[in-house]
Amino acid sequence: MLDLEIKNNHNETAGSIELDEQVFGVPYHPALLHEVVLMQLASMRQGTASTKTKGLVRGGGKKPWRQKGTGRARAGSSRSPIWRGGGTTFGPTPRSYAYSMPKKKVRKALYSALSSKVKENGLVVLEEWAFSEPKTKSMVNLLQKLELSGRVLIAVSQVSEDMKRMTNNLPLVKLVEIRNLDVYSLVLYEKLLITQRDVSRLVEVWGKS
């Protein structure tokens, strides 16, 4: 049984919550995490690098010199890859680097990342969101009271305009909906901040077998 303290906005203990061991009590699998993170990073690549072959380079339609008698190679185009200003041989072209993995493996990696957060005291469960006004300063004050420094990942059931307004100007804070939670973010951000209500939502969304 996994029990974790619930904090209020003043960093005081406001009870405890029992975590689902299927989601938060899984052994650490570094190789699996590495595999999923590589997949996510590959999917983030733009893949816009582009070069031109000699057929795509403008010009070069005229034969540079006559076929015979010059003592030089029998060149047919000045846009050949061997010439300056010519095309590129086997250069990169726009492509997608994305690939997929079995959903069960990705889900297992997510469980492993969440479990690691629990073991390393990186999961902070908040009683509820309570702000006097939706400003960046309000979120900064909350993070300071909770003693959360460094990169902080905030998971919510639904991203609201108020939450966006409070986090958009914080470079070390990322706001994400629970259904879009990913392994790379969990690995990159040291702390995961979530409310008691949203923990149940997380198990509901990601706890399916």
The more confidently predicted of residues 50 and 15 is 50
d(CA 207, CA 209): 6
- Looking at residues 20-35, what average pLDDT do you find? 94
Which domain does 84 fall in, by range? 51-91
At residue 125, does pLDDT exceed 90? Answer: yes
Q: Within this chain, do residues 143 and 56 fall inside the same structural domain, yes or no?
A: no
* Cα–Cα separations (whole angstroms), residue 63 to 41, 87, 149: 46, 16, 67
At residue 33, does pLDDT exceed 60? Answer: yes
Q: Within this chain, do residues 200 and 158 fall inside the same structural domain, yes or no?
A: yes
Q: Give residue 209's pLDDT band: very low, low, confident or very high (50, 70, 90).
A: low
Q: Within this chain, do residues 156 and 135 fall inside the same structural domain, yes or no?
A: yes
- Per the DSSP assignment, residues forming a β-bridge with 192 are 123, 153
How many structural domains compose the chain? 2
- Looking at residues 48-61, what average pLDDT do you find? 92
Residue 123 maps to which CATH number?
Answer: 3.40.1370.10
Q: Within this chain, do residues 32 and 63 fall inside the same structural domain, yes or no?
A: no
pLDDT tens digits, one per residue of 60-112:
889 999 999 999 999 999 999 999 999 999 999 999 999 999 999 999 999 99
DSSP type of residue 121 = T
Residue type present at position 55: G
pLDDT tens digits, one per residue of 55-65:
999 998 899 99
| Pairing of the two strands 13-19 and 2-7 | antiparallel
Model confidence, pTM = 0.84
Q: Give residue 130's pLDDT band: very low, low, confident or very high (50, 70, 90).
A: confident
- Looking at residues 120-132, what average pLDDT do you find? 91
- Looking at residues 2-28, what average pLDDT do you find? 90
